[in-house]
A and B are shown apart, each in its own frame.
Chain A
Amino acid sequence: MAKSPILGLFKDANAAADAGDALKSSGVSENDIDFLTDAPYPEGAFGEREEKHRLYLFPFIGATLGLSAAILLTSMTQLAYPLVTGGKPILALPAMAVVSYEGTMLGAILFTCLGVIFESRLPKLKSGLYDTRITEGYIGVLASVEDGDLDQTRGILNQAGADDVKTEG
């Protein structure tokens, strides 16, 4: 049977957390429940699942690419016009260090930002069930349940103290 989203809106964080617990007790998988808020709550405030991510890899990849690009740029520019200055080697490492450093940091920061967007699953092209009251302080408990269980889920959310419960359509 196809699954449909259902969204309960709560004013109180404790009620939202209770609704999450009640949904899990009724058999809704932890992976099918999400909590939508307008500000970051302490991790685990709603008893939500732990989110795994690989954001920490991105700066390392970016730094490696940035450093490689900077070394290529600085060495090739010096080799392209090999002018000996003061008897120093053509590929003068101290002179290359600054541009290489900046290239490394730029790569790391660029890739971190890309990583944040990618790992946050953005951009989200198809908008899901949502309510603008969430950015006014309401907490949205979003569950994905089988079509036949929508009424039961609505009951659970109402019982937990939802101000409003929405479904698609």
Chain B
Amino acid sequence: MQEGRVLSAEQVNRDLLRSILETPKWFWPVVGVLGLIVLIAAIIIGYMINRGLGITGLNRPIFWGFFITNFVFWIGISHAGVMLSAILRLAKAEWRRPATRAAEVLTIFSLMTAMIMPIIHTGRPWRILYWAFPYDFARGIWPNVRTPLIWDPSAILTYLTSSTLFVLIALIPDFAVLRDRTTGISHRIYALLAMGWEGNARQWKLQIIAGVLLSALILPVFVSVHSIVSWDFGMAVAAKSWHSTVFAPYFVVGAVHSGVSAVAFVLILLRWMYGWQDYIRHEHIDGLGRLLVVVATGWFYFFVMEVIFGIYGREADEIAVRSLQFIQEPFQAWTIIFIVTTYFIPVALWLTRRARRNLWIMSAACISVNIGMWLERYLIIVPGLANRTGFTFSWNSYVPSVYEAIIVGATFAFVSMLLLLFSRVFPLVPLYDIKEGDILKNESVKIGRRVVPATFRED
């Protein structure tokens, strides 16, 4: 895991700040197109607020559809960032260096996008303020802390705040680099953000400890967030198939699976867009591919357990849901696509070193995982609510409206646009982390006939 060449600090600055100090020709047209898609979605959301949720495909008994599926999906993506960054940082994995910040930033933007989904899903978004936040002193109406629908915003806001602070603290040394490379108003802004950072031994020591300490503190929050999202389902008395005890770990591992795949894909895109071949190397994507084989197999285990426990109990409600998922159309076809795209295709590809080092194959595998994981959430939610037992008058199906499809599609444009805008003002690969790796790599030791980098990290 020590490929690549040692680069000078000057070259690292030049390469990694290129996205900030120069604007590629494609940048504004791409941001413009993405912005247009987001604008169209914003207009549709406005229309939906004006006309009500009647314009969606939601109807009794399926009151959670595309929006909540997309909410769980983006929460899942958000799990990659901190998990990848924190675990690899704690494990002192050298190959983490170029991946951490992009992963953390993806966490922030995914969380922001995820939060939009339940807010617009309420139909009257402004009312969220008084059922989720304890602000209404005058009327004495307070949030009901007994409901998971309050636990959820508390966990997500904690995770969002923590991830943002995590990124900001690690950005301070890079702000100083930008302060030293810019002039005028940009210089003044970066100088303000750098807070007078000069890179003395004390500041670096605290920066390194902060990375480890914050990683250790954020990891339990990351686990809690998707557990609590699973409890949104698990605590719902009416939907019988959501009560499996493996739901929390199943959701967490699924989130890691889709999230790490998304990070791998984003890294490949960044490498291609900004020519960062010296930083995001084949060894990094290979490492992520190997990690994904383990994560995917762990996720598959939980998936199988969840289905087996459901069927083994032979409860009528569970059997009805499993029948919908595995036997009846249209869900049966979606289930087959979901299982094949989430596990069998990508894992088969990731098993070979050649495929893990082929960026086209890795991109296809990562996209495949995320198509499958989106379907997974859809197949948990919609057949779960369409539970066809009891009174037949409540039997109904769910066909998403075009408005829902556009809004869901636009969330991908929204996250891409935010990532691009971020890369325009802040470095998406941590400069000091790369430089530290190069300093440590500079020293080598001879073992037998090989010379290997004497990488060493002391905390």
A residues neighboring B (CB under 8 Å): 13, 34-43, 46, 48-49, 51, 53, 55-56, 59, 73-74, 76-78, 80-81, 85, 92, 95-96, 98-99, 101-103, 105-106, 108-110, 112-113, 116-117, 119-125, 127-128, 130, 132, 134-137, 140, 142
Say whether A106 contacts B209, CB under 8 Å: no
Question: Nearest chain-B residue to A126 (Cβ)?
Answer: B196
Residues on A with beta carbons closer than 8 Å to the beta carbon of B228: 98
Least CB distance from A71 to B in Å reads: 11
Least CB distance from A11 to B in Å reads: 10
Q: How far is it, in angstroms, between the C-alpha of A56 and the C-alpha of B144 when the chains are bound?
A: 35
Residues on A with beta carbons closer than 8 Å to the beta carbon of B209: 53, 55, 116
Residues on A with beta carbons closer than 8 Å to the beta carbon of B172: 122
A78 and B145 in contact, given A105-B221, A106-B161, A112-B213 (Cβ under 8 angstroms) = yes
Say whether B198 contacts A124, CB under 8 Å: yes
Question: Nearest chain-A residue to B439 (Cβ)?
Answer: A39
Q: List 20 A-B contacts (CB under 8 A).
A: A38-B435, A39-B435, A40-B208, A46-B201, A49-B201, A53-B205, A55-B206, A55-B210, A73-B134, A74-B145, A81-B142, A105-B158, A105-B224, A106-B158, A109-B165, A109-B214, A109-B221, A116-B209, A122-B195, A137-B8
Asked whether B392 is an interface residue with its Cβ less than 8 Å from the other chain, the reply is no
Residues on B with beta carbons closer than 8 Å to the beta carbon of A116: 169, 206-207, 209-210
Question: Nearest chain-B residue to A80 (Cβ)?
Answer: B142
Say whether B154 contacts A98, CB under 8 Å: yes
Asked whether B199 is an interface residue with its Cβ less than 8 Å from the other chain, the reply is yes
Q: A39-B435, A109-B166, A132-B180 are in contact. List 16 more A-B contacts (CB 8 A).
A: A37-B199, A38-B177, A38-B432, A43-B458, A99-B150, A99-B151, A99-B154, A102-B155, A103-B154, A112-B213, A113-B214, A122-B172, A123-B195, A125-B196, A132-B181, A135-B199
Residues on B with beta carbons closer than 8 Å to the beta carbon of A36: 198-200
A35 and B201 in contact, given A40-B207, A59-B217, A98-B228 (Cβ under 8 angstroms) = yes
Residues on B with beta carbons closer than 8 Å to the beta carbon of A112: 210, 213-214, 217
Say whether A35 contacts B200, CB under 8 Å: yes
A85 and B162 in contact, given A59-B213, A102-B224, A134-B198 (Cβ under 8 angstroms) = no
Residues on A with beta carbons closer than 8 Å to the beta carbon of B224: 98, 101-102, 105
Say whether A80 contacts B213, CB under 8 Å: no
Q: How far is it, in angstroms, between the C-alpha of A116 and the C-alpha of B166 when the chains are bound?
A: 11
Q: How far is it, in angstroms, between the C-alpha of A99 and the C-alpha of B432 when the chains are bound?
A: 36
Residues on A with beta carbons closer than 8 Å to the beta carbon of B143: 77
| B198, B214, B440 — most chain A CB neighbours (10 Å) | B198
Interface string of B200-227 (1 = CB under 8 A from A): 1111111111100110011011001000
| A39, A74, A98, A136 — most chain B CB neighbours (10 Å) | A39
Question: Nearest chain-A residue to B207 (Cβ)?
Answer: A40
Say whether A77 contacts B134, CB under 8 Å: yes
Asked whether B10 is an interface residue with its Cβ less than 8 Å from the other chain, the reply is yes
Question: Nearest chain-A residue to B178 (Cβ)?
Answer: A135
Residues on B with beta carbons closer than 8 Å to the beta carbon of A34: 200-201
Residues on A with beta carbons closer than 8 Å to the beta carbon of B220: 105
- Docked complex: B131-174 residues within 8 A CB-CB of A: 134, 140-146, 148, 150-151, 154-155, 158, 161-162, 165-166, 168-169, 172-173
Residues on A with beta carbons closer than 8 Å to the beta carbon of B177: 38, 135
Say whether B162 contacts A95, CB under 8 Å: no
Residues on A with beta carbons closer than 8 Å to the beta carbon of B217: 59, 105, 108-109, 112
Say whether A41 contacts B458, CB under 8 Å: no
Least CB distance from B65 to A in Å reads: 26
Residues on B with beta carbons closer than 8 Å to the beta carbon of A76: 142
Asked whether B391 is an interface residue with its Cβ less than 8 Å from the other chain, the reply is no
A122 and B145 in contact, given A38-B9, A40-B436, A102-B224 (Cβ under 8 angstroms) = no
Q: How far is it, in angstroms, between the C-alpha of A121 and the C-alpha of B213 when the chains are bound?
A: 18
Q: Which of B10, B146, B180, B208 contacts A85 (CB 8 A)?
A: B146
Interface string of B403-435 (1 = CB under 8 A from A): 000000000000000000000000000011001
Q: How far is it, in angstroms, between the C-alpha of A134 and the C-alpha of B166 when the chains are bound?
A: 25
Asked whether B397 is an interface residue with its Cβ less than 8 Å from the other chain, the reply is no
Residues on A with beta carbons closer than 8 Å to the beta carbon of B169: 113, 116-117
Interface string of B18-53 (1 = CB under 8 A from A): 000000000000000000000000000000000000
A96 and B165 in contact, given A55-B209, A121-B202 (Cβ under 8 angstroms) = no
Least CB distance from A34 to B in Å reads: 5
Residues on A with beta carbons closer than 8 Å to the beta carbon of B142: 76-77, 80-81
Least CB distance from A115 to B in Å reads: 8
Q: How far is it, in angstroms, between the C-alpha of A95 and the C-alpha of B145 when the chains are bound?
A: 6
Say whether B146 contacts A95, CB under 8 Å: yes
Q: How far is it, in angstroms, between the C-alpha of A105 and the C-alpha of B207 when the chains are bound?
A: 20
Say whether B9 contacts A39, CB under 8 Å: yes
Residues on B with beta carbons closer than 8 Å to the beta carbon of A85: 146
Asked whether B331 is an interface residue with its Cβ less than 8 Å from the other chain, the reply is no
